[in-house]
């Protein structure tokens, strides 16, 4: 559908800017990340989020059999490997402040539950609107590198995987800076780029099934000089269609390249049902949010996710952006 035929989307840009104006240090100081729903009123109602659980507490709460390496290494007998399942490194997830499958629900997991609910609402809307395939695809993007795309994509994917009736495939499409496998403790291997570059490869054969139920990964794959062209190729649509058809209960989450780097994020946005735009509350200026939204305009459903960089130990981070003195 081109711009002439696309139905009008009143208020969208305006509400994004208005939402950006809601980013206040008092609201985001202690939070890890927060989804801003499509309704401005709902955004205004968001309650403060408790501080994230420190990694040590999270680690202590995980049953030892779930940890790749525990404190009691001598007593620890790892469960038998299932040949088809690759083990996710829960210890690494905990150390980097991510959701840990099998651990008790912490504040971060609660936040991503909210994000997930909002995602499912849009998903349903797309299905009802006659776009069942697109409804099952989500791009996690941001204006710049290091805004937290991979952090949010993995956490959201793990949160979706906890649903009883849904499977999730996390695709690393940030091929210039692939990070998904490293963050999960998975070995790098062939993946998206290989499937895009060779029509004879069935992308489903490259999907890595993990020992986290309902959670699979497609690595970025083998780098070539043609990466950008491959991501922008028409074959991408065929690869997505194949991955969706391979498992009817599957949702696909793409970890995207940044929108404002020279990158094919715009092409990816046209292929998916929803875009989640990760915004660093302490850093992303409104002008960049607006520019990123324009780049991603091929998608009709763009949500903002405020990522409030809770890993910075003091509040100095708000000083420069908001022109305030750091609080002691």
Question: By the criterion CB under 6 A, which residues form the site for ligand ADP?
Answer: 32-33, 96-97, 142, 145-151, 179, 307, 309-311
List strands edge to edge, sheet with 215-218.
33-36, 302-307, 274-280, 137-142, 250-255, 167-172, 215-218, 208-209
Considering Cα of 258, then 260, then 262, then 267, what sign does the dihedral take?
A: positive
Considering Cα of 26, then 30, then 36, then 41, what sign does the dihedral take?
A: negative
Nearer to ligand ADP, 143 or 244 (CB): 143
Give the shortest CB-223-to-ligand ADP separation in angstroms.
Answer: 17
What, of Mg ion, ligand ADP, none, does residue 148 touch, CB below 5 to 8 Å by kind? ligand ADP
Give the shortest CB-174-to-ligand ADP separation in angstroms.
Answer: 6
Nearer to Mg ion, 29 or 98 (CB): 98
Strand (E) or helix (H) holding 277 = strand 274-280
In this chain, which stretch among 68-76, 144-152, 162-170, 298-306 interacts with Mg ion, using CB under 5 A? 144-152
Give the shortest CB-307-to-Mg ion separation in angstroms.
Answer: 12
In this chain, which stretch among 34-42, 132-140, 172-180, 261-269 interacts with Mg ion, using CB under 5 A? 172-180
Give the span between the Cα atoms of 232 and 145, in whole angstroms: 19
Q: Where are the alpha helices (DSSP H) in the chain?
A: 12-21, 25-28, 40-44, 55-61, 90-95, 107-128, 149-161, 180-184, 192-197, 227-231, 235-246, 265-271, 286-295, 317-322
Nearer to ligand ADP, 12 or 92 (CB): 92
Based on the shown chain and the rule CB under 5 A, indicate whether residue 150 belongs to the binding site for Mg ion.
yes
Nearer to ligand ADP, 52 or 300 (CB): 52
Chain positions 176 to 195 lying near Mg ion, rule: CB under 5 A, are: 179
Nearer to Mg ion, 111 or 174 (CB): 174
How many residues bind Mg ion (CB under 5 A)? The answer is 4
Give the span between the Cα atoms of 11 and 216, in whole angstroms: 37
What, of ligand ADP, Mg ion, none, does residue 155 touch, CB below 5 to 8 Å by kind? none
Give the span between the Cα atoms of 275 and 75, in whole angstroms: 45
Q: 169: helix, coil or strand?
A: strand
Q: Which residues bind Mg ion (CB under 5 A)?
A: 149-150, 174, 179
């Amino acid at each position: 559908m081109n711009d002439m035929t696309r139905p009008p989307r009143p208020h969208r840009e305006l509400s994004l800017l208005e939402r950006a104006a809601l980013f206040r240090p008092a609201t985001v100081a202690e939070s890890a990340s927060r989804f801003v729903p499509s309704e401005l009123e709902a955004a205004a109602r968001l309650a403060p989020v408790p501080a994230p659980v420190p990694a040590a507490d999270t680690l202590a709460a995980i049953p030892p059999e779930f940890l790749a390496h525990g404190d009691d290494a001598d007593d620890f007998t790892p469960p038998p490997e299932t040949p088809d399942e690759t083990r996710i490194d829960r210890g690494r997830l905990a150390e980097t402040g991510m959701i840990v499958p099998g651990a008790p629900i912490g504040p971060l997991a609660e936040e991503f539950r909210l994000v997930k609910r909002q995602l499912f609402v849009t998903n349903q809307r797309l299905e009802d609107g006659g776009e069942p395939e697109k409804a099952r695809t989500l791009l996690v993007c941001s204006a710049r590198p290091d805004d937290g795309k991979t952090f949010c994509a993995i956490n959201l994917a793990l949160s979706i995987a906890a649903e009883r009736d849904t499977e999730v495939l996390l695709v690393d499409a940030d091929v210039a800076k692939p990070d998904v496998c490293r963050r999960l403790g998975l070995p790098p291997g062939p993946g998206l780029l290989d499937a895009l570059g060779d029509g004879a490869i069935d992308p489903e054969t490259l999907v890595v099934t993990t020992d986290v139920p309902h959670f699979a990964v497609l690595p970025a794959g083998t780098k070539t000089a043609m990466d950008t062209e491959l991501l922008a190729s028409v074959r991408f649509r065929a690869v997505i269609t194949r991955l969706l058809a391979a498992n009817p209960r599957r949702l696909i989450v793409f970890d995207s390249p940044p929108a404002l780097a020279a990158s094919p994020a715009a092409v990816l946005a046209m292929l998916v049902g929803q875009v989640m735009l990760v915004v660093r509350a302490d850093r992303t200026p409104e002008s960049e949010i607006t520019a990123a939204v324009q780049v991603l305009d091929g998608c009709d459903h763009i949500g903002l996710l405020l990522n409030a960089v809770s890993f910075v130990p003091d509040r100095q981070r708000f000083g420069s952006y908001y022109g305030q003195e750091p609080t002691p």
